[in-house]
Each structure stands twice: as C-alpha cells, then as structure tokens.
Copies of this chain bind each other. A is one copy, B any other.
Amino acid sequence: MAKLVTKITDRDTNFADWYTDVVREADLVSYSSVKGSMIIRPYGYAIWENMVNVLDTEFKKLGHQNVQMPMFIPESLLNVEKDHVNGFAPEVAWVTHGGDTKLEERMCVRPTSEVLFCEHFKNIIHSYRDLPLLYNQWCTIVRWEKTTRPFLRSREILWQEGHTMHRTAEEARSETLRMLKVYEDFQRNYLALPVLVGRKTEKEKFAGAQETYTIEAMMYDGVALQNGTSHYFGDGFAKAFGIEFLDEDNTKKTPFQTSWGCTTRMIGGVIMTHSDNHGLVLPPNIAPIKVRFIPIQCTEEIMNEITHITSDLEGITYDIDQSDKSPGFKFADAEVKGIPIRVEIGLRDLEQNVATLVRRDTLEKIIVPLNEVANKIKELLPKIQQDMYDRALKRRDSMIYETNDYQEFQKIAKEKSGFILTTWCGEEACENQIKDDTGLKSRCIKEEIQDGTCIVCGKKAKYSIYFGRQY
C-alpha cells in the first residue's frame, strides 16, 4: 500500500506537484514526444466519455443537433471578424504544406469554430423558418499555449462548442443563459462542483463576443478554474459574414448568435476540488467504476458471494480486482483511482457473514451484513455525491472574502488564497489597477448594484464582482 501512496506529493506542501502526481498515478494521462499535448489514457478517457454522454443527452433534449465542421480555417476566413482574429491569431497552429506542396493560403487548426459556423450559416439560413438553428460540435481544438498542464492548459483540447442563431436578441440572450444553466447544473449534480456563475468584464470576455458568461470553480488551493463559458454575440459576426433571413413581415433581418463550450479541463477541476493525498476522489455520478470488489482471497466461496451481491446492482458499474497482487496493493489501487466505494470480502468476513465497505471520500470503513451490501451501496452512492458537494461548498465559501477597503483587499490578496468579493465602478483602469497591485483578475460580475463605491477609485460602484487568481 505504502508503495503507491508515497509517490504522491503532499497536497499542502506542493499543490502543483500533488496534482501532476495524482493525474499520473491514477493512470489518467501520459506524455509523449508531442510537446504540450497529452495522451488521455483509458481511465481518464472513460471519465470524459461519461461527461460527454450526460451533456450530449441534455443538449439533444433541448433541441441541439450535432454537426462536424472542418478542423482547418483558411487565414482569410479567420480574418473576417477583427476582434476575433486579434484574440486568437497569436495562439494558433499554422498548416503551411500539404505533402511537399506549399499551400496557396496557410490555414490554422481551429482554436474555436465561430467563423466556420458563420460561413455555413450564411449558406443555410434564408428564412425565419430556419431559426432558431441550434448546433453543437464535439471535437478537438488547438491553442498554442507556452506553458501546459494536463487537463488545465493543453495545446490540444477536447471540447464541445455550441453555436446557435436566433431571430431576436432576446431569444439569443436567453439561449446564452439557458446553456450556462446546463453547465451549472451539470457541474453541481455530476461533478459535485460548487460554481460561481456570472458575467465576465469587458476585458475578460471572449474575442468577438458582446457578453461572456462564465462558470468559475474554486480549486482546493483557492485558485479559480474557468470551467465553461457561454457567449452572446449580438449580430456582430452575422453582420461581418452577411448572414440575413427573410422575416415573417417580409423584411430582411440579421440574426443573433450565441456560442458556448466546455472542455476536458472539467476533469482537472474535479481532481483539484475533491482529491487528496491518497490520490483521485471521483464523484459517483461521473466515476467510470462506482464500486470495486476486492476478494481478500480468490476462493470460489468468496467469488460466489460477490456474484450474488453484484446481481442486485442493476445499472451500477462495478469491477472485481482478481489480480494476484496483495490486498494492500489492491486497496491502494482502488484509492488512487478514486473509486467511490470499495468492498472487501475475506474468508474471516464470510465466517461472520459480513463485508467491509470503504468510502473513498472519507476513507470511513463500514461493516455490513452480506445480505445488506447491495442496498448499502445504493444508499451510499448518492450520499457520497451529496457529501462531496457539501464539503466543497463549505470549503469554497470559507475562502470567499468580502471587502470594500482597498488596503484590506491587498492584505487579503497577499495573505490568503481564495476569491474576494468587492464593488467596482466598471472601468477597465480600476480592474487593471487591481491586477497590477495584487495579481488578482476579475472572475465574474455577481450582480449590478445601486449603492456603494468602487474599491479602487471611490466613484459610484456599478457591480459587485469576484476577484481571484486563476489557472
């Protein structure tokens, strides 16, 4: 047991090393000679597949259809919307040759697909009957990051990007918020992540968007992870691309647009919120394996008992560790992989007609009569899910500070980890001042306010807003 666990750096000693140790020891990723990219191994990919399945089902329920766009964007197409190209051009990978032939026009690997969707929308949107158009795409995007970390910041990112077009601005705005809510619910109910939800400032919004809404999770170390965004574009892209539709009143109009995306980064968020010095801790609702049975001896009697129990676990994914490793090794393996419940059954247990259930989140051992094991598992899984959320919420809330005093703000920023809620006039100069003085960036606007003064300039405040460090 010791062997596996000692490979993981202490979480409070060096959080960054702890993170990469967990990611490696839980067999989530591996590295290759492709700098900045990661190999997602079967166990890591199975977590992503679970995320994809839940979200894809939800999107389809709401009427979104999946499509597949090209992965390349010709330079001239990327250039159509100016804010957009300025935001993305510095971090794209350029394809310049096909085989031995130099391309007439270089193309980038998509960093996001707004321009590809817009070009397509121009071809297929003609009438108000074509709206709303609700599209989604699961794919890989590329952003040429200088510093990379598995799941958090990678040159290649697996994600989904929704792109929708609407008849009115109101409808598009409401779609932007509807999809933000889908992300929020998913992260709360499946990933057990308490998240802050709000609007990004002008400075932090997506290149080309009118408004960007964000899901901000707080990691164990108090640092923010932006875990999904939803953008309202207004008609900016549509006008740049000349997209028009004939409305019911027989006049030509420009449609309004949204896009929204979330990525494999969510796996990083799950790890950095819930995991511990023993390794990964997975919320049951997203865990590829929810229960692992560990026969202390692989006798026929014990295997029969396990078969008997599993026959009552309809719909709950489990596995049985029948390897020839020692029990201690098997326990540590179940722990490092974050399997929510492990069930240990040995010959002595059989004699006493019991099994030992171990909760991964608390490491609590629960001795249960054999004929109650299946029911106990069904009772524990949702409880573990809820407890993980509650603990993460409590911890996060204890690391949100609130102040209107700039000296205190700077003191908290220096001494504490976490977010600071404050009041702000809305001017970029004040936002930049905070960044320069403390290193903290705005996370999201909590709400518009009527009273109060800006923490920096002292003028009338417009917003209450969260600040924090970020991944």
- A residues in contact (CB < 8 Å) with B: 30, 32-34, 37-42, 45-46, 48-49, 65-74, 76-77, 89-101, 107, 109, 116, 119-120, 123-124, 135, 139-140, 142, 144, 155-156, 158
> Could you tell me if A107 and B34 are in contact, using CB atoms closer than 8 angstroms?
yes
Given known A99-B89, A99-B90, A144-B99, contact A70–B37 (CB-CB < 8 A): yes
> A40 contacts which of B68, B100, B109 (Cβ < 8 Å)?
B68
Other A-B pairs beyond A32-B69, A39-B120, A71-B109, 20, CB < 8 Å: A33-B76, A34-B70, A34-B107, A37-B71, A38-B70, A39-B68, A39-B116, A40-B68, A41-B67, A42-B66, A45-B67, A49-B66, A72-B156, A90-B100, A91-B99, A92-B99, A93-B98, A94-B97, A96-B97, A139-B140
Q: In this complex, what residue of B is CB-closest to A324?
A: B129
Residues of B within 8 A of A40 (CB): 67-68
CA A144 to CA B98, docked complex, whole Å: 6
CB-defined A-B contacts under 8 Å, sample of 15: A30-B123, A33-B74, A34-B70, A34-B72, A34-B74, A34-B77, A34-B107, A34-B116, A37-B72, A38-B70, A39-B116, A41-B67, A48-B68, A70-B156, A94-B98
A98-B107 Cα distance, complex, nearest whole Å: 12
**In the docked arrangement, what's the CA distance between A289 and B243, Å?**
30
The residue on B at minimum CB distance from A325 is B129
A274 to chain B, nearest CB (A): 23
Copies per complex? 2
Per a CB cutoff under 8 Å, which of B45, B66, B74 touches A45? B66
**Distance A167 CA – B142 CA, assembled complex (angstroms):** 37
Please report the C-alpha to C-alpha distance between residue A41 and residue B124 in the assembled complex, in whole angstroms: 11
Instruction: Return chain B residues, CB-CB under 8 Å to A77.
Output: 33-34
**What is the CA–CA distance of A49 and B98 in the complex, to the nearest angstrom?**
29
Instruction: Report how far A34 CA is from B107 CA in the complex, Å.
Output: 9
The secondary structure that dominates the A interface is mixed
Instruction: Return the contact of A42 from the options B65, B89, B119, B144 (Cβ within 8 A).
Output: B65
Given A89-B99, A92-B99, A107-B34, verify A42-B71 contact (CB < 8 Å): no
Measured CB to CB, the nearest residue on chain B to A139 is: B140
A42 to B155, CA, bound (A): 28
Q: Chain B residues with Cβ under 8 A from A124's Cβ?
A: 30
A148 vs B140: C-alpha distance when bound (angstroms): 23
A71 CB contact (under 8 Å) in B30, B66, B73, B156:
B156
Which of A65, A99, A155 is most buried by chain B, counting CB atoms within 10 A of its CB?
A: A99
Chain B positions within 8 Å of A93 at CB level: 72, 95, 97-98
- B120 near A30: Cβ-Cβ < 8 Å: yes
The answer to whether B72 and A158 touch across the interface, beta carbons within 8 angstroms, is no
A156 contacts which chain B residues (CB < 8 A)? 70-72
Which B residues touch A139, using CB under 8 A? 140
Tell whether, in the assembled complex, residue A42 and residue B98 are in contact, meaning their CB atoms are under 8 Å apart.
Answer: no
Give bound CA distance, A68 to B154, whole Å: 13
Q: Is there an interface contact between A70 and B32, defined as CB atoms closer than 8 Å?
A: yes
| Chain B residues within an 8 Å CB radius of A142 | 71
Are A33's CB and B94's CB within 8 A? no
* Complex CA distance for A442 and B371, rounded to whole angstroms: 63
Alpha-carbon gap, A140 to B68, bound state (A)? 10
Chain B residue with Cβ nearest A92? B99
Q: How far is the CA of A40 from the CA of B68 in the complex (A)?
A: 5
User: What distance in Å separates the Cβ of A146 from its nearest Cβ neighbour in chain B?
Assistant: 9
Q: Which residues of B contact A42 (CB under 8 A)?
A: 65-67, 135
CA A254 – CA B54 in complex, angstroms? 41
Residue in chain B with minimal CB distance to A35:
B74
| Interchain nearest-CB distance for A319 vs B (Å) | 13
